[in-house]
């Protein structure tokens, strides 16, 4: 079988190493490649890739754009897909995010940075888990407003703000989720230690150490979580969809690669 992850950039992804290791350990005759697709060439290549590969993962920035190219969608209201198999678009990010927070109480309001595919998965997971109040801050306000329109209802309030309001909004929040790529290359958010005093959870979807995680730990934030647990649990779901899952072996493969 042939699998791949498409994105831009994609070189940071650990998925090729993790799945390749898993296939080797299980003696499964399969490959997993990383394909860096320029944004402009996505519309002309995506349908060919869907035919060429047995299964695909989709990462930054194509999770929303790929929705128009799948035959059916499992989590339709989420409008973002990160795993494709047999023509069906799945979202396993939200399951990964939910599972990684199983034993943690999420205090509200929750402030989410970002309004892309990963942010949508986070909002969907929070809504399903019973959270009622979410703030979204994004560089492009219109994109945050579209997420709010898609998820707002009588029981679930999504407010949107400019990223320039980061400090005052964080001061009124209990939990923060970074669903942007800010921090992947060491970039800093405009946050000071005093802004984090009332925060009980900092969840950064980036799986390497970032300045946000560092400052949160230094401030004594009770729960500081990076993206590895979410990556692990969403990968488990992908393997279940591809009918290749073996929990024990996958745990070992993941551990070997992420150390
Ligand atoms: P998208 O491309 O769909 O969205 C990216 C988001 O980040 C947008 O909100 C974008 O704002 C914002 N952003 C990007 N660069 C900047 C910047 N320089 N300044 C301000 N905002 C910026 O990507 P995804 O939603 O798919 O992924 C977001 C992050 O989450 C990535 O780092 C990805 O690696 C991580 N992720 C981790 C997972 C895990 O398992 N741990 C799973 C899924 C994602 P704008 O709309 O204005 O462009």
Whether the model pTM is above 0.75? yes
Average pLDDT over residues 229-249: 98
Tens of pLDDT along 103-115?
A: 999 999 999 999 9
Q: Tell me if the bond preceding 109 is cis, omega within 30° of 0.
A: yes
Q: Please indicate whether residue 15, judged by its CB atom, sits closer than 6 Å to ligand 1.
A: no
> How many CB atoms within 10 Å of residue 74?
14
Q: For residue 177, what pLDDT is reported?
A: 98
CATH superfamily ID and name for 96-228: NAD(P)-binding Rossmann-like Domain (3.40.50.720)
Give pLDDT tens digits for 117-154.
999 999 999 999 999 999 999 999 999 999 999 999 99
Whether ligand 1 lies within 6 angstroms of the CB of 146 is answered as: no
Dihedral-angle region of residue 170 (phi above 0 means left; psi in -120 to 50 means alpha; beta otherwise): alpha
Question: Residue 259 — very low, low, confident or very high, per pLDDT cuts 50/70/90?
Answer: confident
What's the whole-number mean pLDDT along residues 61-77? Answer: 95
What is the structure's pLDDT at 163?
92
Q: Check residue 238 and give its pLDDT.
A: 98
Q: What positions carry a catalytic annotation?
A: 63
Residues 9-26 have a mean pLDDT of 96
For residue range 179-216, list pLDDT tens digits in order.
999 999 999 999 999 999 999 999 999 999 999 999 99
Same fold, 2-90+242-258 and 96-228: yes
169-179 confidence digits (pLDDT tens): 999 999 999 99
Ligand 1 geometric centre to CA of 231 (Å): 14
Atom of ligand 1 nearest to the CA of 143: 46
What is the percent of the chain where pLDDT is above 90?
98
CB 20 within 8 A of CB 71: no
**Residue indicated by tokens 């790929």:** 66
What is the C-alpha separation between 48 and 232, in angstroms, rounded? 28
Chain-wide mean pLDDT for the chain? 97
CATH code for the structural domain at 2-90+242-258: 3.40.50.10860
Q: How far apart are CA 102 and CA 208, in angstroms?
A: 21
Give the gyration radius of the chain's Cα atoms. 18
Q: Is the CB of 138 under 6 A from ligand 1?
A: yes
pLDDT in the model for residue 187: 97
For the Cβ of 207 lying below 6 angstroms from any atom of ligand 1, the answer is yes
Return the pLDDT at 51: 97
Average pLDDT over residues 222-232: 97
Q: Which atom of ligand 1 approaches the CA of 97 most closely? A: 40
Give the residue, out of 61, 142, 160, 181, with the most ligand 1 atoms within 8 A of its beta carbon, to mutate for a pocket test. Answer: 181
Strand-pair category, 223-225 with 201-204: parallel
Q: For atom 20 of ligand 1, which residue has the closest CA? A: 139
The three-class DSSP label of residue 77 is helix
- Domain locations along the chain: 2-90+242-258, 96-228
Does the C-beta of 136 come closer than 6 Å to ligand 1?
no
Task: Note the pLDDT of residue 71.
Answer: 96
């Amino acid at each position: 079988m042939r699998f791949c992850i498409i994105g831009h950039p994609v070189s940071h992804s650990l998925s090729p190493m993790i799945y390749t290791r898993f296939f080797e350990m299980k003696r499964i005759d399969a490959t997993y490649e990383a394909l860096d697709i320029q944004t402009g060439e996505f519309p002309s290549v995506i349908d060919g890739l869907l035919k060429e590969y047995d299964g695909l993962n989709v990462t930054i920035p194509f999770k929303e754009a790929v929705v128009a190219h799948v035959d059916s969608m499992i989590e339709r209201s989420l409008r973002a897909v990160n795993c494709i198999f047999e023509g069906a678009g799945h979202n396993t990010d939200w399951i990964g995010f939910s599972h990684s927070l199983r034993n943690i109480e999420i205090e509200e309001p929750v402030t989410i940075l970002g309004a892309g595919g990963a942010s949508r998965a986070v909002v969907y997971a929070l809504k399903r888990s019973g959270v009622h109040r979410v703030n979204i801050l994004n560089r492009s306000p219109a994109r945050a407003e579209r997420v709010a329109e898609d998820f707002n209802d009588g029981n679930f309030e999504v407010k949107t703000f400019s990223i320039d309001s980061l400090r005052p909004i964080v001061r009124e929040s209990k939990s923060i989720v970074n669903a942007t790529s800010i921090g992947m290359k060491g970039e800093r958010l405009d946050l000071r230690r005093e802004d984090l005093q009332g925060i009980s959870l900092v969840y950064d979807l980036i799986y390497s150490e970032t300045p946000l995680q560092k400052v949160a730990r230094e401030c004594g934030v009770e729960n500081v979580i990076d993206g590895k647990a979410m990556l692990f649990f969403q990968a488990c779901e992908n393997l279940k969809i591809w009918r290749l899952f073996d929990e024990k072996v996958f745990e070992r493969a993941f551990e070997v690669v992420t150390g």
